[in-house]
């Protein structure tokens, strides 16, 4: 009888420990966003909670992507089409431009989102018209490149140089990753990772205690 009782207690203890060590699997989703493959991983109290966190992170990054694109009618297009005037934009756009100015100053212009006139010049030679722009046309486009022509006033942005324009791609992706991580943390995820084409940020640890990868 004692043997059976000991066996019973042992089985109860084993089941209890097994239940305590069981971990919720990591939720992972990948989407094409920001011009690249974006992967979001998260761990939370339940798989449903983790999926909610992942979907919300994608929603925030999708918002950043939609307002920072350069397609016709976008916020960036509105800024580029109204040089010399302050243009009211969503908070996220103003914050990205402000960060762009900061990083341009820190890098002494090595990073400069007003490089867009040069990008546009090269885009003219896509498709069947494969040729290199002339030195003269490149020099002309470079004359519009100057991060000091950008200004932010609250939620308004201005490019002072007539003919100047911006492309926020160099900063927007990292900004979107930061905002996505902030969403995961605010919704209670215990750990997570976002990889946007090599722009990677993590927080917390995996449920097994290991590092994110």
**How would residue 124 be classed by pLDDT, with cut points 50, 70 and 90?**
low
Per-residue model confidence as pLDDT tens digits over 95-120:
999 999 999 999 999 999 999 999 88
Question: For residue 129, what pLDDT is reported?
Answer: 65
Question: For residue 2, what pLDDT is reported?
Answer: 53
Q: For all residues of the chain together, what is the average pLDDT?
A: 86
One CATH from 3.30.70, 1.10.3470, 2.60.40, 3.15.10 for 29-69+171-213: 3.30.70
If one compares 37 and 212, the residue with the highest pLDDT of the two is: 37
If one compares 34 and 192, the residue with the highest pLDDT of the two is: 192
pTM of the model: 0.80
CA–CA distances in Å: residue 127 to residues 120, 122, 131: 14, 11, 10
The residue extents of the domains of the chain are: 29-69+171-213, 72-167
Question: For residue 5, what pLDDT is reported?
Answer: 44
Question: For residue 81, what pLDDT is reported?
Answer: 93
Question: For residue 209, what pLDDT is reported?
Answer: 83
Lowest mean pLDDT among 27-41, 63-77, 88-102, 147-161: 63-77
CATH fold of the domain at 72-167: T-fold (1.10.3980)
**How would residue 208 be classed by pLDDT, with cut points 50, 70 and 90?**
confident
Hey, CA dihedral for 168, 90, 99, 199, is it positive or negative? negative
What average pLDDT score do residues 117-134 get?
A: 76
Lowest mean pLDDT among 48-57, 120-129, 134-143, 164-173: 120-129
Lowest mean pLDDT among 59-73, 133-147, 170-184: 59-73
| End-to-end alpha carbon distance in the chain | 51
Per-residue model confidence as pLDDT tens digits over 132-149:
888 999 999 999 999 999
Strands, DSSP E only, in 104-178?
Answer: 150-153, 156-159
In this model, does residue 201 exceed pLDDT 80? Answer: yes
Alpha helix positions (H), the chain: 2-21, 47-68, 75-80, 91-106, 116-123, 135-142, 169-186
What average pLDDT score do residues 155-169 get?
A: 93
């Amino acid at each position: 009888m004692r043997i059976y009782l000991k066996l019973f207690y042992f089985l109860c203890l084993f089941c209890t420990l097994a239940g305590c060590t069981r971990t919720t699997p990591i939720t992972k989703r990948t989407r094409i966003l920001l011009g690249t493959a974006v992967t979001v991983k998260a761990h939370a109290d339940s798989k449903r909670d983790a999926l909610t966190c992942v979907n919300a992170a994608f929603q925030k990054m999708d918002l950043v992507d939609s307002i920072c694109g350069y397609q016709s009618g976008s916020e960036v297009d509105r800024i580029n089409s109204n040089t010399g005037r302050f243009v009211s934009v969503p908070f996220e756009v103003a914050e990205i431009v402000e960060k762009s100015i900061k990083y341009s100053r820190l890098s002494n212009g090595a990073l400069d989102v007003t490089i867009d006139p040069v990008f546009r010049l090269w885009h003219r030679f896509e498709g069947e018209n494969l040729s290199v722009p002339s030195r003269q046309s490149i020099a002309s486009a470079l004359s519009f490149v100057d991060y000091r022509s950008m200004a932010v006033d609250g939620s308004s942005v201005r490019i002072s140089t007539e003919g100047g324009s911006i492309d926020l791609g160099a900063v927007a992706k990292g900004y979107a990753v930061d905002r996505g991580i902030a969403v995961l943390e605010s919704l209670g995820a215990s750990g997570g990772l976002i990889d946007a084409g090599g722009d990677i940020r993590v927080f917390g640890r995996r449920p097994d205690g290991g590092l994110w990868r």
